[in-house]
Amino acid sequence: MIPQIHKQGTNTLGLLHYLYGKGTHEEHIDPHLVASFDGMSPDPGRDATVTKKDLQELLDQPLHLLPADQRPDKHVWHCSVRAAPDDPILTDEQWADIARRIVAATGIDPHDGAGCRWAAVRHADDHIHIVATLVREDGRRPDHHRSGKRAQAEARLIEKELGLHRVAPGDGTAAKRPTSAELHKAKRRGRERTAREELRETIRRAVAGVAGESEFFDRLAAAGLLIRKRAAPSGDLLGYKVALPDDRNKDGEPVFYSGARLAPDLSLPRIRERWSAGTEQTSSTGTAGHVSPGSPSAARRRTASAAWTAITVIEHGDDAVAAAYIAAAGEVLDALAKTSAAHTRRELRAAASAFERASRSHVRAERGHDRALRQAARDLVQGGPALGRDEDGATTAMAIDMLFFLITTTAHWHAKKGHAQQAAAAFQAAEHLRSAYQAAAARPLAVLYQRGQRLHRPLIQRQTALLRVAVPELAEQILAEPGWYALAATIAEAEAAGQDPAALLTSAAQRRELGTADSVSGVLTWRLRRLADLPAGTSGLPDPGTVQGASAEERPAASRLTTPGRPRGERPAGNTR
């Protein structure tokens, strides 16, 4: 249940006309009063002899009893209370009780015999609107300071008592939701999202891996945004605003939003913190020798390596450093979504959008430690669009697999800190990454499976023995998985390249618990290929130690091979609304 306190207004009658009207799209059905300050207020929705003016005059009576110079300029208090989509339809009596509890909790009518006059109107199944006059019966102003937080706290109690959807408590670090006016405007123009949401996502992508002010504004301009910069008399840049070219007000002027209005971490000072510590010099670290250092596949390999390191930092590092890595992980997701092939792009964008909420908390990030992840984001952007096949496609699966564990680790970190909304958002992002991984990994793992099935039987037997020695606690689970053949092919390639497969397996398994993973073999396959600098894609490469002729019946359905590791039984907790 979401209570929302709207801006204070000056026109009670105007608000009543809206609440009792048909709505901008005739969405208001049977508007009527469910509760009021005295329980006897006139209802212009159900009583034909009553007008909206009658109700307005009753509500505003304490205002007009004051001398004109003592009346507040903005006297209209407005709060909407909305149920979750999966909540049962509440009765008028239940909504009436909810309205009385909200006005009491917020200080509008604290049941002291002299509260404000108010009325609650229902014009849809899932929500009510409460309108009140901000003058008490005794002529004083109500104590409604921090009424939004007080309403939220009461809503959590109501959810528990009525068995409604439990909304995760917020902490004030979420981006501002679109207003109802913005939502209606987007709907009128046939947009799926509001201008506010589109601008926020565009700026997030522009920030990913950016190294300085000039590059940041160049990216915003390249994305087609209108930009206004705010400078001090000295010429120093203080802030910026952006607008969509086709988002205009009634006067035909562009509607600009400052970065801070879009999200707390998109103000210019907060963005500067990201690049103030600089980025690392791009190198071939973590890049297979056969891959060009500036290619999309090389960038994905470096991303997997940076994510691998970040997992340990978030699990065991200082909170401020962990917060920096988490924020940088959001940049990596944005950059990966921007540059990946079409069949993974939608889920990657959804993951980046969901994780945006998880990238902020009250733990202030200590920038500078996150250089490797920010550089990974920069490499992804500079590497350009990746193909969805061969080395590009396989390294995309490799990067997504490692990012899945990084985002899951982030969810656990937030949960331990009591950051309910951030934890829920991270779990949601992980689910989108799971879907993106399945799309990216299906083909390369199927090819590896076929290669593994063609290995000589003595070689398979030797690898089975090696597996039982290197990871004895996981060996039987791996051998029972269809992905075992993909791992076997990878072990054979590593051995043919002069690597020690036992050492690789031990290293890959030690860095993160795997006992509860859905597909241990799939996780280890990507880790081994990265650690041994093996090609992620396998097209055109000779099969080490193989015989020809795996039958079609022995080949797997790709979907059985493409589930990334996940702790079993874990589901997103809470809600990001």
Instruction: Give the pLDDT of residue 574.
Output: 40
Task: Please say if the pLDDT value at position 577 is more than 80.
Answer: no
Asked if residue 167 belongs to a domain, the reply is no
**DSSP label at 571?**
-
pLDDT digits (tens, 9 = 90+) for 387-440: 878 889 999 999 999 999 999 999 999 999 999 999 999 999 999 999 999 999
**260 and 396 both lie in a single domain:** no
Distances (CA, A) of 157 to 168, 390, 469, 484: 12, 54, 54, 50
Asked if residue 282 belongs to a domain, the reply is no
Pairing of strands 32-36, 2-5: unpaired
- Among 421, 440, 459, residue at a domain's last position: 440
**59 and 131 both lie in a single domain:** yes
DSSP 263-302: -GGGSHHHHHHHHHT--PPP--TT--TTS-TTSHHHHHHH
Asked if residue 576 belongs to a domain, the reply is no
**151 and 104 both lie in a single domain:** yes
**431 and 501 both lie in a single domain:** no
**402 and 525 both lie in a single domain:** no
Mean pLDDT of 20-34: 82
Q: Give the Cβ contact number of residue 92 at 10 Å.
A: 14
223 with 243: CB under 8 angstroms?
Answer: no
Q: Which domain holds residue 539?
A: 447-561
**111 and 191 both lie in a single domain:** no
**pLDDT classification of 517: cutoffs 50, 70, 90:** low
Highest mean pLDDT among 19-33, 246-260, 502-516, 545-559: 246-260
**148 and 6 both lie in a single domain:** yes
pLDDT digits (tens, 9 = 90+) for 319-372: 999 999 999 999 999 999 999 999 999 999 999 999 999 999 999 888 888 999
**305 and 416 both lie in a single domain:** yes
pLDDT digits (tens, 9 = 90+) for 456-473: 999 999 999 999 999 898
**155 and 184 both lie in a single domain:** no
**422 and 470 both lie in a single domain:** no
Mean pLDDT of 214-231: 95
Q: pLDDT > 70: what percent of the chain?
A: 88
CA-to-CA distance for 104 and 114, rounded, in angstroms?
A: 12
CA-to-CA distance for 318 and 330, rounded, in angstroms?
A: 19
Nearby residues of 156 by Cβ (< 8 Å), 6 or more positions away: 166, 167, 169
pLDDT digits (tens, 9 = 90+) for 53-78: 999 999 999 999 999 999 998 999 99
Residue 473 corresponds to which amino acid?
E
Asked if residue 569 belongs to a domain, the reply is no
Distances (CA, A) of 121 to 48, 162, 245: 16, 20, 38
Q: Which of 353, 344, 402, 398 is nearest to 373 (CA)?
A: 402
DSSP 467-522: HHHHSTTTHHHHHHSTTHHHHHHHHHHHHHTT--HHHHHHHHHHTS--TT-S-HHH
Instruction: Give the pLDDT of residue 554.
Output: 40
Asked if residue 69 belongs to a domain, the reply is yes
Task: Please say if the pLDDT value at position 538 is more than 80.
Answer: no
Task: Please tell me the total count of domains within the chain.
Answer: 4
CA-to-CA distance for 88 and 98, rounded, in angstroms?
A: 15
Asked if residue 536 belongs to a domain, the reply is yes
